[in-house]
Structure 1
Amino acid sequence: MTTTPIGRERDGDGGAKAPPSLLYLVKRLELAVRSHLEEVVRPAGVTALQYTALTVLERHDGVSAAQLARSSFVTAQTMADMVRALEKRGLIRREPNPASRRELLILLNDAGRELLAEYAEPVRRVEERMTAELTARQAEQFRAALGTSWRALSREG
């Protein structure tokens, strides 16, 4: 089987096969983004997943570990390990939830905010590179389509 310049495989008879599924394309994009993000944040001593968790806290400071795990797309166990690592680095802190004494809220420290500020531009350049061949309108439509697709899959049912 050979691959054509536009990424379609050819079957044994030379006919073009169907294009890759959207699920495949989304996963391939996610892996490419993660790889580039890992490269960018490696000098800070954090992983792409840790950086993502910090950006979640930047937008929604003072969340539970379970909420942070869901918003960061990781399991509760992975988040528990991540929280310990980020707390040890002094990038976050945990405080008791005034509404529920058993729950700890996770908050961004000044060092975490500084890290995010320092890496905001290099991370923005990754996104810019990803959308470089799109017009501004196409990039906005892409953003909207991704949001709509996520909401559709997030609904129960």
Structure 2
Amino acid sequence: MSTSLLYLVKRTELAVRARLEEVLKPAGITALQYTALTVLERHDGVSAAQLARDSFVTAQTMADMVRALESRGLIRREPNPANRRERLILLTGTGRGLLAEYAEATRGVEERMTAGMSPAETAAFREALNEAWRSLS
């Protein structure tokens, strides 16, 4: 009997998170915090609710994360001009600097994960993961 794809995906996710935690430990941030910062790098100025969705965490987890990242000066919050009750979260220069500093190390995790694959297999793997996500979304 072959191993369940769901099991294989979860096992891979946990291995990736563990390697990211190792790489990011000197920065004093978690893999989840790093994910949130990379979301902001691509889509700066989002609500906490949107950041939580895009970072795959609950609203409560994101609230705690925002406080931690803001206290470190990695993000800042400002009022949303289109909605007074909402605050937008933005990446600071310090946050961008941290992402730049760790870009090569985190890219190394991805390279390690795909080291046994050819470039074509890596591209097919990327597309298969995207297709799986689209099918479930």
When normalised by structure 1's length, the TM-score is: 0.86
Which ranges in structure 2 are unaligned for 5 or more consecutive residues? Answer: none
Of 110, 127, 131, the match for 1:144: 127
SS at match of 1:90: coil
Distance 1:106 1:34 in 2: 24
**Identity in percent:** 75
Decide which moves more: 81-90 or 144-153. 144-153
- Residue 19 of structure 1, CA deviation: 1.1
2:91 is aligned with 1:133: no
Aligned ranges for residues 34-45 of structure 1 at < 5 Å?
34-45=17-28
| Residue correspondences, number | 137
CA displacement, residues 91-140 of structure 1 (integer Å, 9 cap, x when unaligned):
00001111101000000000000000000000001000000000000000
Q: Flag the structure with higher helix content.
A: 2
When normalised by structure 2's length, the TM-score is: 0.99
- Residue 152 of structure 1, CA deviation: 1.0
Distance 1:108 1:114 in 2: 10
Distance 1:104 1:150 in 2: 29
- Residue 44 of structure 1, CA deviation: 0.3
Amino acid of the structure 2 residue aligned with 1:85: A
Which ranges in structure 1 are unaligned for 5 or more consecutive residues? Answer: 1-17
2:105 is aligned with 1:122: yes
Distance 1:26 1:137 in 2: 20
Q: Which has the larger radius of gyration?
A: 1
